[in-house]
Chain A
Amino acid sequence: MQKRLFYKNPPLLLLFIKMMEKLPIKSSDNVWKAGNAKEITFIVTKDCQLACKYCYLVGKNTKERMSWDVAKKTIDYILDKEEEFREESVVWDFIGGEPFLEIELIDKICDYIKIEMFRKNHHWFNSYRFSFATNGINYHDVKVQNFIKKNRSHLSIGITIDGTELLHDMNRIYKNSCKGSYKDVVKNIPLWLSQFPEGATKVTIASDNIPYITESVLHLYSLGIHDVNINCVFENVWKEGDDILLENELIKLADEIIEHKLYEENNCSFFWEELGKPMDRVKDNMNWCGAGKMLSIDAAGNFYPCTRFAQYSLREKKAWIIGNIHDGIDKNKTRPFLTLDRCTQSNAECIDCEVASGCAWCQGENYDAADTPTAYQRATAICKMHKARVRANNYYWNKLYRKLELEGIAKEEAEKHVKMSNHEIC
């Protein structure tokens, strides 16, 4: 492949970076959402300003910050192995801790990626995104904002806000003071939405915050966040009766959404029409989780099938390392993930479950909770919560379709009137 060699000339380099800022994304949304994109995650830091009570990152610390040397070697390894990374597009993902704590490193990484993709005439050139999930606290920081301006057309940023101040501050607290972070996040929401009008947030539900779901989702809609991706934690934290609480709370939410026609402009991923159907052993046997197809890199330069397999994410098990920046990826270590299917990792009750569709799992949590060091034992702590969600979901769609029908809108036409969920889980 012909390489572009001019880039070592600094003035030209600056010109090139400026030119890149103006390039629109070549690929359509379908490329990203249909799973045709490679997701590469830099764990740039294991530090965070917050100590969220439900955070699965049990090993956060201030010491493990990625160096430029590790980042560069990672990029060189990946871009030099173009024949092994054949996906049509790439999502360069940055995670922490809180990724924007390392904005200077990230900026340097992104510049280098762009330059190298161009220099190598790489097929990902102009078919890439930079993606962030941030707590939003330093979103307004000038360095972050400069980075956003520079990369705007290739950027996806999600800010995590759990809902009302009460709910948010129950869990998302500062690590040293236990003070809630809501006020520091919500002040940045208007700026974020002005830059990313389609911005979505991810809400995590644990046992204690079930009663606050309705008011929180409605609050997020009122802030202008129209896509609320929400899920119950996969860990075994659920108490007796939580399923009934969830069912009742979601029915309350359904009533609010339907009564106030919020379904026209907003989406809450708890309600998904395909949820709660039986699944065929053969036709519906795919493993939806991307672990193994993704690649995560930490400060030590180790590769993981997903961030959830790095040591700081694991309570019980050892890190599942599949290679490193020096030796590359050991493909034998990714084979179990790339051959995983739904039925092989599920018990008989899950396989035969009549409301199986939409019941998610986290491959990393499966591994962490398994009786042996395996990714092939599906954790089922979420079972009763899924079934509660299915009951409320059935209620939602039955009520909504009947309402639309009474308004003269046929079921087949409903999609034009209802903002549908993209069913984002992980």
Chain B
Amino acid sequence: MLQYLIIQLDDTSTSYCHYENGKMERRLMALEDLKAGILFAMKENLMIQFVYPDYVLPQEYKDAINSIDHNDIVSSSCEDMSLREKADVVVFNSWASVEQNGFQDATVCVLRTTKADLLDKYLLLKPVLSTVTRLNVVITDVDTFTGQDFEDYKKVLASLSEEVEKLYIESKSPQLNQLTDRMLLDKMNNCNAGWENITLAPDGKFYVCPAFYLAGDDEDFGLGKAKYSIGDLQNGLDVKNPQLYKLEFAPLCRKCDAYQCKRCVWLNRKTTYEVNTPSHEQCVVAHLERNASRDLLNNIRKHGTFFPQREEIKEITYLDPFDIKEQ
């Protein structure tokens, strides 16, 4: 069931996920479209998440946005300081931006990083785990992981896990998506773009997520244009094959217990052609995180009772559920 409307306010609005936003030229959503989008969300009972560009929005836009309960997603380099300070989510698009601005205390922070940078600089994350409300690490090139990368990533997770465990023992509750989400989940908690959330783009059209809007006009992963809309403000939603965005129509994922996995439909489309089928790389990364969460949970429980209502995360012998699909 649709629950969220993401409004990409400008072509240059920050990415907060796996996709890149290479657009440099501003294209602010028409004010009328913004208001119509807000009205749509009100009538459909959707929570709005606004995704901001780095420049300061005109006052009439701010007024429209403030007419409804919402969440703000901004980049760490956003020039609107007051917006940045009160934002629900602050996105760091590189390690350089972390060095420049520093993580914002008591805020949900998203760090978008390449795998190479993460493997190189992950130790810098340890000190901030106790200061931010939550840290989401998003690897922007998951599709390029190879055998050695998986091994290296496993070590990174183990190292970060030690820090998280230490903080838990100190009665703190750090949140690092790669490690702590799975511990606290008992069912899938994926992105669910196209099913539970959709995106309204500056062109007044709906998209599965911002990535499907930001793809180049001629970009083609192999079976046709990567960019496609799923309706517009005038005519409403028109999602073709809507069932394929739902978990129950994803044969590999519906039986999977890597509950923290984003199950990114954009990456799915890019790597396997099908929005409901994850790549080997996405599956293995998610399972390395799942297994690291398992170890973390077991280690924390050695120090005392911890989330007793949560069942133990089972030991499994595979990293890609595709390998056991016959079962």
Interface of A toward B, CB cutoff 8 Å:
317-318, 320-321, 331-333, 335-336, 338-341, 344, 370-377
- The answer, yes or no, to whether B279 is at the interface (CB within 8 Å) is yes
Q: Are B277 and A317 in contact (CB under 8 A)?
A: no
- From A317, A320, A333, A376, B241 is in contact (CB under 8 Å) with A376
Q: Are B241 and A339 in contact (CB under 8 A)?
A: no
CA distance A151 to B215 in the complex (A): 52
The residue on A at minimum CB distance from B253 is: A339
The residue on A at minimum CB distance from B254 is: A344
Q: Are A374 and B251 in contact (CB under 8 A)?
A: no
Given the known interface contacts A318-B223, A321-B222, A339-B322, the answer about A371 and B272 at a Cβ–Cβ threshold of 8 Å is no
Q: Are A344 and B241 in contact (CB under 8 A)?
A: no
CA distance A374 to B274 in the complex (A): 6
Q: Are A332 and B271 in contact (CB under 8 A)?
A: yes
Q: Are B240 and A372 in contact (CB under 8 A)?
A: yes
Which residues of chain B from 269 to 327 have a CB within 8 Å of any chain A CB?
271-281, 322, 325
- The answer, yes or no, to whether B58 is at the interface (CB within 8 Å) is no
Q: Are A376 and B273 in contact (CB under 8 A)?
A: no
CA distance A371 to B244 in the complex (A): 12
Chain B residues within an 8 Å CB radius of A338: 322, 325
Chain B residues within an 8 Å CB radius of A331: 280
Chain B residues within an 8 Å CB radius of A375: 274
Shortest CB distance B242–A (Å): 10
Some 28 contacts from A to B, beta carbons below 8 A apart, are A318-B220, A318-B223, A320-B223, A331-B280, A332-B272, A332-B279, A332-B280, A332-B281, A333-B272, A333-B273, A335-B252, A335-B274, A335-B278, A335-B279, A335-B280, A338-B322, A338-B325, A339-B252, A339-B277, A339-B322, A339-B325, A340-B251, A344-B251, A344-B276, A373-B224, A374-B244, A374-B274, A376-B249
**Cβ-Cβ contact count across A and B, 8 Å cutoff:** 64
CA distance A340 to B249 in the complex (A): 10
Shortest CB distance B264–A (Å): 13
- From B224, B249, B271, B325, A317 is in contact (CB under 8 Å) with B224
CA distance A373 to B277 in the complex (A): 13
- From B220, B224, B241, A377 is in contact (CB under 8 Å) with B241
The residue on A at minimum CB distance from B320 is: A335
CA distance A336 to B253 in the complex (A): 12
CA distance A377 to B222 in the complex (A): 18
Chain A residues within an 8 Å CB radius of B273: 320, 333, 336, 373
The residue on A at minimum CB distance from B269 is: A373
Given the known interface contacts A318-B222, A376-B249, the answer about A371 and B274 at a Cβ–Cβ threshold of 8 Å is no
Q: Are B224 and A336 in contact (CB under 8 A)?
A: no
CA distance A371 to B281 in the complex (A): 28
Chain A residues within an 8 Å CB radius of B240: 371-372
CA distance A377 to B275 in the complex (A): 13
Shortest CB distance B41–A (Å): 25
Chain A residues within an 8 Å CB radius of B223: 317-318, 320, 373
Chain A residues within an 8 Å CB radius of B241: 370-372, 374, 376-377
Chain A residues within an 8 Å CB radius of B276: 336, 344, 376
Q: Are A376 and B222 in contact (CB under 8 A)?
A: no
- From B220, B224, B272, A335 is in contact (CB under 8 Å) with B272
Shortest CB distance B246–A (Å): 10
The residue on A at minimum CB distance from B275 is: A374
Shortest CB distance A367–B (Å): 9
Chain B residues within an 8 Å CB radius of A340: 251
CA distance A340 to B240 in the complex (A): 19
Chain B residues within an 8 Å CB radius of A321: 222
Shortest CB distance A361–B (Å): 16
CA distance A321 to B275 in the complex (A): 17
Shortest CB distance B225–A (Å): 9
Q: Are A376 and B274 in contact (CB under 8 A)?
A: yes
Shortest CB distance B221–A (Å): 9
Q: Are B280 and A376 in contact (CB under 8 A)?
A: no
Q: Are B280 and A336 in contact (CB under 8 A)?
A: no
Chain A residues within an 8 Å CB radius of B224: 317-318, 373
CA distance A373 to B220 in the complex (A): 12
Shortest CB distance A100–B (Å): 32
The residue on A at minimum CB distance from B251 is: A339
CA distance A236 to B224 in the complex (A): 23
The residue on A at minimum CB distance from B143 is: A332
Q: Are A341 and B251 in contact (CB under 8 A)?
A: yes
Q: Mark B194-228 against chain A: 1 for CB-CB distance below 8 A, else 0.
A: 00000000000000000000000000101110000
Shortest CB distance B237–A (Å): 14
Per CB-CB distance, the 6 closest pairs between chain A and chain B, nearest first, are: A373-B223, A336-B274, A371-B240, A339-B251, A336-B277, A332-B279
The residue on A at minimum CB distance from B223 is: A373
CA distance A376 to B222 in the complex (A): 17
Chain A residues within an 8 Å CB radius of B222: 318, 320-321, 333
Chain A residues within an 8 Å CB radius of B280: 331-332, 335
Shortest CB distance B229–A (Å): 12
Chain A residues within an 8 Å CB radius of B281: 332
Shortest CB distance A326–B (Å): 16
Most chain B CB within 10 A, of A317, A339, A370, A375, is at A339
Shortest CB distance A197–B (Å): 37
CA distance A344 to B275 in the complex (A): 13
CA distance A335 to B249 in the complex (A): 14
CA distance A331 to B280 in the complex (A): 8
CA distance A375 to B244 in the complex (A): 11
Chain B residues within an 8 Å CB radius of A373: 223-224, 273
Shortest CB distance B252–A (Å): 5
CA distance A336 to B277 in the complex (A): 6
Given the known interface contacts A317-B223, A318-B224, A374-B274, the answer about A335 and B322 at a Cβ–Cβ threshold of 8 Å is yes
Chain B residues within an 8 Å CB radius of A371: 240-241
Shortest CB distance A304–B (Å): 12
Chain B residues within an 8 Å CB radius of A372: 240-241, 244
Shortest CB distance B106–A (Å): 40
Chain A residues within an 8 Å CB radius of B322: 335, 338-339
CA distance A66 to B280 in the complex (A): 32
Chain B residues within an 8 Å CB radius of A344: 249, 251, 276
Extra contacts, 16 of them, besides A339-B251, A374-B244 (Cβ < 8 A), are: A318-B220, A320-B223, A332-B271, A333-B272, A335-B252, A335-B272, A336-B273, A336-B274, A336-B277, A339-B325, A340-B251, A371-B241, A372-B244, A373-B273, A376-B249, A376-B274
Shortest CB distance A306–B (Å): 14
CA distance A370 to B249 in the complex (A): 16
The residue on B at minimum CB distance from A370 is: B241
The residue on A at minimum CB distance from B322 is: A335
Most chain B CB within 10 A, of A318, A335, A372, is at A335
CA distance A344 to B246 in the complex (A): 11
The residue on B at minimum CB distance from A367 is: B223
